[in-house]
Amino acid sequence: MTHLYRILAVTVILLPLLGPTTCAAQKKTRSKLRALAVVELPSSARVGKDMELPSSARLRAIAIFQNGEYLDATIYRMNPMPMALEPGTVYDVLQSGDSLGLLSIESVSKAKDDWLAAGRWKSSASQLAAKQAASAPVQVSLPGGNDERPRLKRSESSPAAPQPAPTPTPAATPAAAEAAPPAAQAKPGAPSAPDDIDPSQSDPDRPELRRRAATSVSSTPATQVERKRESVRTVVSAHAPAEEGASLAAPVLKKRGHVELQFLAAISDASPYDARSYKFPWIAAEQQRLTTAVEKQAQAELATYAGKSSQVLVPGSFTSSVQAFDLDYDNDAELVLTAKCALRKKLSTAKAAPLNAYITYVVHEESTGDLHKLFSEITDDDHLDVIGRMELVDAVDADGDGHAELLFRLLGASTQSFELYRAGRDQLWKLFEGAETEKN
């Protein structure tokens, strides 16, 4: 019994000492986010590390990765726009993991429920040139012909010029003291206005993305309140014309005409990360062998699909695109095929209009050279409202673990959305589906 009392007494003594330590351990650090987006640009635009981004290019937010799960970026922390599209957010635009440049958001536009952004572009080539110019040695030329020894200039023997007498400064009059600016009369310890307080400083749990560095125009960086006011001013509806003579802080996004688009993946992450290429380095002979093999498997899948509705493949109508990636850096290729083929009823005439079918087919190359099917999705023009057509965007590291996922654009009868998959040994695992909008 005495032993029990001793334990209770020690517990009562140590409990107040452990309290502050426990509270400090429970204090959370600022949450880090990783935003996934796509850059839409005309299909005719050239893509490379020295590319110029067309003025019609737009950035579309897709997903937010936070605490091990993917959230829809189009509705994440709306205030009034999605957080992923706030002006000042910086995106690293990628092609199969290789960085093409940085896009810093400056303007945001909304048409119905579709948010798009545009901004300032700086290609990887221009960034490299700026770094090389900054690190280049500065050449200093000294006078004196070939003799580069420094010399001191001595004055000739002449009397020194008399220095002018200093002019006395007149004393300030009371009227001048009253005319002094209020800033000069303010007390050093006077508190600032409440609007200048940055709420993010008092909220350690507020997540953050990669932000643009403060420029040298202002001596102090903009507060969160000022950034929010600026973002509200730059939100311009796509269908509402700008007032004549209005001064905008950033260029207004003009409505684009109907053009064929290509898509580039983009990442915004405040934490440092390494960019690496996920392209599979195949030679011409290997590319030919693997492409032929995966196309043969895909055509067999299409033939089975067509046979279920008493249809056949129209000869010569099969067109495909095959891309190879090394998603896990294990020197084994993941091949992604997207193809289009025409189907026709078995007993129909040659003049009957064919039905377009679409297939997305993913395989993994085994160490033996065999191709193992991971994924197959087939649809046609009559079923797009049920099963959308999948278009590959790119391979991108969406969660920052060094392994790439496959990002697809899903086209329905009247809508578009995006899906993210991780490649396993036997199948593709869907990680995210969302960012749905009406088709342009």
Q: pLDDT tens-digit profile of 76-111?
A: 999 899 999 999 999 999 999 999 999 999 999 998
Is the model more confident about 171 or about 426? 426
Where exactly are the structural domains of the chain? 29-129+207-214+225-274, 284-438
Question: Which tokens go with 161?
Answer: 């010029």
Alpha-carbon distance 330 to 279, whole Å?
Answer: 12
What's the pLDDT tens digit per position in 228-286? 445 444 443 333 333 333 333 344 455 555 678 999 999 999 888 888 999 999 999 99
Task: For residue 251, say if its preceding peptide bond is cis, omega within 30 degrees of 0.
Answer: no
Percent of the chain with pLDDT over 90: 56
CA-based radius of gyration for the chain? 32
The three-state secondary structure class of 418 is strand
Say yes or no to pLDDT of 136 above 50. yes
Please write the tens of the pLDDT for every residue from 179-191: 444 444 444 444 4
Per-residue model confidence as pLDDT tens digits over 379-431: 999 999 999 999 999 999 999 999 999 999 999 999 999 999 999 999 999 99
Is this prediction's pTM over 0.75?
no
Backbone angles phi, psi at 187, to 5 degrees: -75, 145
Contact assessment for residue 332 and residue 367, using Cβ atoms and an 8 Å cutoff:
yes
- Where are the extended beta strands (E) located within 34-89? 34-42, 58-66, 69-72
pLDDT of residue 217: 38
